[in-house]
């Protein structure tokens, strides 16, 4: 049996060593939504109302991605598909496009990371050095499809504007609790109730049967292709792998958009959200409520 496995891995290594090697992996991403992390009004919603809200949010919470990779480069992008009439609300689609990543490119040899973002009709290009997680390799295994996978864990810093990890802020003092309650009632600053953890623990499952140090999104750096990632409330699971597809794609970095860092992009998003809050308050209360 060991001889068969060794021969299999040797065959894969020879395949990947080929100059024109390319692979493609399909991933399903699903983010759970916790109503208890929302305000009192959401917690008082009926089960039917919650179901309707989840249906509208489905374009944000459930996505299909394609990872196209070779030995050193990869592109991770959402699969383009036509939606059936009436599927998902316009709000869900708008939020899904504005707050979800676009085409993501990484070059593990040159330590490059580029990400295309479309935010309310404007194009941005996030460009930064590629960060590697400090993975702790474990001995636990499980089967995903036809592949034997090994467990690895790491502590990952969370992007402050990553909505998938946002949660209701817990007041530390009674004064803090009163302040949050007043802001919630007056709609002074809804974001004052929201916080994002500084770090989260990530669990990844990788397979040495595909010996490339690639994975979905920013996850990479393991001795095998990452087939599953569990990060906070989000699970990314590989459902299909195609080695050397008949029609190869060009793996290239996105190039259009205003070049920014992650911090610069987040500042732009926060400024836009503040403008939207001001507009919302003006429509609700009119100028007479401002002093």
Residue 249 in domain: yes
- pLDDT, residue 162, reads 77
Residue 289 lies in a domain: no
pLDDT < 50 stretches in the chain: 1-11, 88-89, 91-92, 180, 183-186, 286-291
In a domain, 187, yes or no: yes
22 belongs to a structural domain: yes
Determine the pLDDT at residue 2.
45
Note whether residue 260 is domain-resident. Answer: yes
Residue 17 lies in a domain: yes
Residue 291 included in any domain: no
Which pLDDT value is given to residue 246? 84
pLDDT computed for residue 74 by the predictor:
97
- 290 falls within a domain: no
| pLDDT the model gives residue 291 | 36
In the chain the beta strands, taken as DSSP E runs, fall at 23-31, 62-69, 73-78, 104-107, 112-119, 122-129, 136-144, 147-157, 167-168, 194-195, 199-207, 225-231, 234-243, 258-260
pLDDT value of position 143:
98
Q: How many domains does the chain have?
A: 1
> Domain range holding 272?
2-284
């Amino acid at each position: 049996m060991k001889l068969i496995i060794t021969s299999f891995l040797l065959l894969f290594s020879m395949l990947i060593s080929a100059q024109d090697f390319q692979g493609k992996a399909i991933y399903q991403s699903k983010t759970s939504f916790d109503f208890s992390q929302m305000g009192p009004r959401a917690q008082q919603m009926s089960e039917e109302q919650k179901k309707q809200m989840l249906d509208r949010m489905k374009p944000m919470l459930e996505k299909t991605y394609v990872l196209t990779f070779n030995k050193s480069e990869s592109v991770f992008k959402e699969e383009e598909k036509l939606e059936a009439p009436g599927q998902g609300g316009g709000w869900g689609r708008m939020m899904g496009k504005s707050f979800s990543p676009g085409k993501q490119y990484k070059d593990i040899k040159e330590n490059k990371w580029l990400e295309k973002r479309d935010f309310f009709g404007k194009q941005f290009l996030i460009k930064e050095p590629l960060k590697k997680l400090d993975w702790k390799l474990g001995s636990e295994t499980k089967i995903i499809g036809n592949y034997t996978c090994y467990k690895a864990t790491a502590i990952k810093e969370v992007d402050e504007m990553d909505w998938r990890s946002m949660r209701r802020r817990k007041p530390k003092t009674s004064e803090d609790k009163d302040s949050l309650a007043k802001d919630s009632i007056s709609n002074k600053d809804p974001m004052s109730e929201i916080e994002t953890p500084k770090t989260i623990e990530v669990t990844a499952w990788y397979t040495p049967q595909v010996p490339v140090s690639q994975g979905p999104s920013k996850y990479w750096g393991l001795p095998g292709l990452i087939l599953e990632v569990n990060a906070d409330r989000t699970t990314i699971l590989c459902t299909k792998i195609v080695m050397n597809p008949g029609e190869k794609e060009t793996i290239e970095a996105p190039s259009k958009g205003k070049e920014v860092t992650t911090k610069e992009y987040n500042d732009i998003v926060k400024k836009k959200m503040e403008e939207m809050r001001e507009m919302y308050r003006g429509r609700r209360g009119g100028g007479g409520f401002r002093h």
